[in-house]
Amino acid sequence: MPETVRDLLRPHAPDAPAIGAPDRPWLTYGALNALADDTMARLNTLGIGRRDLVAIVLPNGPEMAAAFVTLAGCCDTAPLNPAYKVDEHAFYLEDLRARLLVVAEGDEGPAVAAARRLGLRIARLAIPPDAPAGQFTLSPEDAGTTAPTDRPGPSGPDDAALVLHTSGTTSRPKIVPLLNRNVAASADHIGRVLRLTPDDRCLNIMPLFHIHGLIAAVTASLAHGASVWCSPGFNALQVFHWMEAAAPTWYTAVPTMHQAILTRAPRNADILARRRLRLIRSSSASLPPQVMAALEETFGCPVIESYGMTEAAHQMTSNPLPPAARKAGSVGIPAGPAVRIADESADRLLGPDATGEVVISGPNVTPGYEANAAANDAAFFVLDGQRWFRTGDQGRFDAEGYLRITGRLKEIINRGGEKISPLEVDDALMDHPAVQQVVTFGMPHPKLGEDVAAAVVARDGQTVTEAELRAFAAERLADFKVPRRILVLDEIPKGATGKLQRIGLAAKLGVGA
């Protein structure tokens, strides 16, 4: 069983293709391993070693994929969303205590501005002329000298590989360190569920700052000697052309992407006939059964719905491949970690058909949030000598052991797989001089599952419009966090104890689908 990200790359045929991209030669496993060694040596001479955190802000594509798997093998990595504004980048870089920021050559965007504000060192990623997909060099922006690290060499199983933030509704975003052994275990689990072999090729259309794309598409493929062809980002108009060029055997995506792909399918019947997929995977949000049926009819292959989250290094359960049953509306059977249902107080584990909180335990589960004892006390518990993580999701197992998610216990807004902290949106809107009170909440959306909404009370004697507030938020938040509806009210409804309640507020105010 591999225990580190480097372990995942080593056992494969050196001449086999590993990473591809449009109009680029393939990067082989031999070249990828050499790149990992060169990158580690370069970082070590820059004073960066094991347990130092490197933030990565790169566009989607093969360099982002290669940067993650090479850097994660020798330091802690934190991929950040390039869509963040300067203040958002500054918050995450400072909260993570980053030692270095990796950006593309020529990038002068918000991440660079944030790093310069913080005095953070910047390294530029350059693509050599005529290089294969994913090949890069790293050069520090400054010309100063740095003492080599005193922690050289590849990371070990208990060193972090991937460090992400997950949003909470009652506190600042929490830091989730995923160790090398967590990432390696999850990549192994996903590959086993999908029966990946060196003959498989994944078409990646997921963003690579997102754990779904990083682990399910890229790392799971490489862990099993398969190849991954990296698109420059999701574009429904291009997906079938990419299928023609890449000749994939599978792809993984969120439900909204699947729906967009289905709308283009009738115009691409010839490509569908030539490029047969072995499977399609869906995760990060609930897949409507009607969409699953349409995908299977259109592509003539099984659609495998999985259930994952950041704290589990992505995958927790999955529907299996045929000949086993896959059930529409279910997220499948345990697929790596142990998965059970606990009662409300997490005092005991419940039996089949009982509804309660989904809890997990296994090698892919984070050891805990960083520097957050209160969050760890709330999220983890020990029962019968085993350590369990509380997912915050409500569900039940059917008689055949398939899990169905029946509700959300957390107030985090899940916008098509993007997790948004209501408090972060509250804080941005409260900076407006005319705003007195804000409560951000999720409202139903027919395609995304949820979208962001907010209720606002203006200060006495002041007026403000929805358009003004959305424009104000757009200057401070990434686009997917900006509320699609903002209601300006005289008073926001409160619960029986006088507290503002996010859950159920959309129904009370009559917003959403």
Topology of domain 5-304, per CATH? Rossmann fold (3.40.50)
CA dist 503 and 513 (Å) reads: 16
Contact 397, 380 (CB under 8 A): no
| Nearest-angstrom CA–CA distance, 377 and 368 | 9
Among candidates 188, 120, 185, 134, which has minimal Cα distance to 21? 134
- In tens, the pLDDT along 188-229 reads 999 999 999 999 999 999 999 999 999 999 999 999 999 999
Determine the pLDDT at residue 65.
98
CATH number assigned to the domain with residue range 413-509, chosen from the 4 options 3.40.50.720, 3.30.565.10, 3.30.300.30, 3.40.50.2300: 3.30.300.30
Cβ atoms of 225 and 261 within 8 Å: the answer is: no
Superfamily for domain range 334-408: Luciferase; Domain 3 (2.30.38.10)
Amino acid at 135: Q
The two tokens of residue 438 are 């804000």
Domain boundaries, the chain: 5-304, 334-408, 413-509
- Global confidence as pTM: 0.85
The answer to whether 33 and 10 have CB atoms below 8 angstroms apart is yes
Amino acid at 242: W
pLDDT in tens for each of the 513 residues of the chain?
A: 789 999 999 999 999 999 999 999 999 999 999 999 999 999 999 999 999 999 999 999 999 999 999 999 999 999 999 999 999 999 999 999 999 999 999 999 999 999 999 999 999 999 999 999 999 999 999 866 688 999 999 999 999 999 999 864 445 789 999 999 999 999 999 999 999 999 999 999 999 999 999 999 999 999 999 999 999 999 999 999 999 999 999 999 998 899 889 989 999 999 999 989 999 999 987 788 888 999 999 999 999 999 999 999 999 999 999 999 999 989 999 999 999 999 988 889 998 889 899 999 999 999 999 999 999 999 999 998 999 999 998 889 999 999 998 766 767 788 998 888 787 898 899 889 998 788 899 999 999 999 999 999 898 889 999 999 999 999 999 999 999 999 999 988 875 434 567 888 999 999 986
Residues 6+ apart with CB under 8 A from 76: 51, 52, 53, 54, 159, 160, 161, 162, 163, 177
Three-state secondary structure call for residue 284: coil
CA 395 to CA 385: how far, in whole Å? 23
Contact between 83 and 49 (Cβ < 8 Å): no
Q: Which two tokens stand for residue 398?
A: 């059917």
Whole-angstrom Cα distance, residue 175 to residue 431?
25
Query: Across 321-472, where does the E strand assignment appear?
Result: 333-334, 338-342, 349-350, 356-361, 380-383, 386-397, 403-408, 413-415, 418-420, 435-445, 449-458
Instruction: Answer left, alpha or beta for residue 40, where phi above 0 means left and psi between -120 and 50 means alpha.
Output: alpha
What is the rounded CA–CA span in Å between residue 225 and residue 200? 8
Q: Which pLDDT value is given to residue 170? A: 46
Which residue in 254, 210, 256, 248 sits closest to 230, CA to CA?
A: 248
> ∠161-167-169 over CA atoms, to 5°?
155
CB 248 within 8 A of CB 22: no
CA distance 471 to 459: 19
**476, 478, 481, 484 alpha-carbon torsion, rounded to 10°:** 80
Q: What is the enclosing helix (H) or strand (E) of 181?
A: helix 180-194
Identify the H or E element spanning 378: helix 373-379
